[in-house]
Every structure is written in structure tokens, then in C-alpha cells.
Structure 1
């Protein structure tokens, strides 16, 4: 997966130090109640459609951009479902990052789910009670909060 240019520029200045990054997750549901997932190319795991926001990008716009780029699906945001901080991660190249995640509940509008870029091996629709085992716990939590969403965001607390 290509690293965005703005992150490469920051890394030139910061090296591998921890960077706090804004990210988005999209819980895209179709009319049958299925959720759109992608199988990541970097680790083979299935998960929600996620991504890093570009500088100045509105979070809901960024979530929809990621969905379209990665899956070919057009969606609309229903509302912000949750806000949470992920655990720090270390990438294979030694870079350290921690993500602030904004999870949006989205509704399918059009398009056929397909691999849209090199970030995914596969994409598909799944019944929420029959997810691939490789979907990580933090993404299951995001999915659950989106399914239970009332329009008032959930703020993760320890």
C-alpha cells in the first residue's frame, strides 16, 4: 500500500517516532443488513473499510472516498457512530503510529463490490452474524457500535 506523500514528508522529519493520525472506518450496510468488508493485502485479514484522512479532508468525505477507492461502492453517510483511539502500532518498516478513529455508519447507494486498488485482495458483503474469523476485535466493536447507533456517537472509554 502506498504511503501518502504527506506522511512521507513527516517521516523525513520525525523518523520512526510515534505519529498521531486521524483515520476513518466505514460500516457500509446494504438493504439486506449485510456489511461490506475488505480483505487487506498487507496481512490477509478481513475488516471494515478504513483509511487515513488527507490533510484538511472532512472525515465523512474521507470515509466515502475510501469506500469508493477500495471497493467501487458508492455509499452515503448516515451518521457518526463512534470515536476511539487505537493502540499504538509498529509497521514492518519500523514506523510507529497511533490512530484516532472516527467510525461512520453508511448506507449502500450503488455499485458492485470489487477490488478497487492494491490495498485489498478481495471485497464482499457479509451477514453481520457470519463474519470471517480474521475480523479483529476492535473492528467488531466498531461494527457493533454502528449497528446499535442512535445518531449520538459512542466515545470509547477504558
Structure 2
């Protein structure tokens, strides 16, 4: 079931809280996997909304697989981000509650889901592009300090 579509059919574009799970995904060389999101036309960490009845870990694994083609192992919680507002291109407004995990690739192959992504690519830490939102940029900065998990 598409929970967000179900919810938006009931509340329209009004501000709602939504739960998301995503990953700061590293390959064996320590490069970071990013998704260039179709909706925002900018780079961000792979991840997405939880479906009803799904755990954070299940959602992170499912979303990362769907968006990148990679199976992952979750190593640890990097942070929880809840004090943000997102206004989507279609006018929907949300207060996202995002749980970011540090993940390692354990199988699969790079695949781009054309419905959600313009591109998927690996980046060296020193060559990271700007990320599409303050939330993602803060999560990246927190990851670099290695003090996690953080709660914002």
C-alpha cells in the first residue's frame, strides 16, 4: 500500500508528520552512494517513507534496494532528524521524521529507478555535491563528526 497516497487522499496538502528511513551507504572503498532525486532534481541519500506495518530497518533496506539496486547491511544508527519542514514540488507539506543508518553494500548491482531517480552514483568524501535539503546536509555533517547517533 502507498501510505503517503492514502494519507494525502484524506488530508490533501496540509502539513503532516511522515516517518522516513534512509542510509548513508558506503561501498568497500568508503565511497558514499547518493541518489539524484527526480522530484527535487538534486542529490540526496537514498531512503523513503515507511509503509504501514513496516519497521525502520525494513523500510531502509527496501527503499535503498528499490532506489539503487543494492542490498545493504545496517551497521548503526547515525541520527534521527525531526525538526524540519519539507514543501514538495506538488505543494504537499510535511514534517519529516528521518532515521538515517550507516550502511554497507552486501550485494546487488547499481540500478536506477526512473520513476524516482535521475541518477545514482558513488562519491568520494572530498567530492560530495551539495545535498538537496538542510536535513540531508546536516545528516552528512553529523556523520563526518562521527559523534552519532545524534537526535535533532
Same fold (TM over 0.5): yes
* 1:7-63 superposed Cα distances (whole Å, 9 cap, x missing partner): 223223222221100011211111211010011112220111120011121101111
> In the alignment, what sits opposite 1:26?
23
Alignment of 1:6-155 (within 5 A): 6-149=3-146, 153-155=149-151
Decide whether aligned partners of structure 1 residues 148 and 76 sit closer, same or farther in structure 2, where only a CA change above 3 A counts.
Answer: farther
CA distance in 2 between counterparts of 1:54 and 1:75 reads 19
What's the Cα RMSD here? Answer: 2.0
Q: Using the TM superposition, name which of 77-86 and 133-142 deviates more.
A: 133-142
Q: Is the 8 A contact 1:36 1:123 kept in 2?
A: yes
Q: Is the 8 A contact 2:131 2:137 kept in 1?
A: no
CA distance in 1 between counterparts of 2:111 and 2:15 reads 33
Q: Is the 8 A contact 1:72 1:114 kept in 2?
A: yes
Q: Specify the SS of the correspondent of 2:51.
A: coil
CA distance in 2 between counterparts of 1:40 and 1:120 reads 5
CA distance in 1 between counterparts of 2:114 and 2:83 reads 25
What 5-or-longer segments of structure 2 have no aligned partner? Answer: none
Q: Is the 8 A contact 2:40 2:132 kept in 1?
A: no
Q: Is the 8 A contact 1:69 1:117 kept in 2?
A: no
Report how many aligned residue pairs link the two structures. Answer: 152
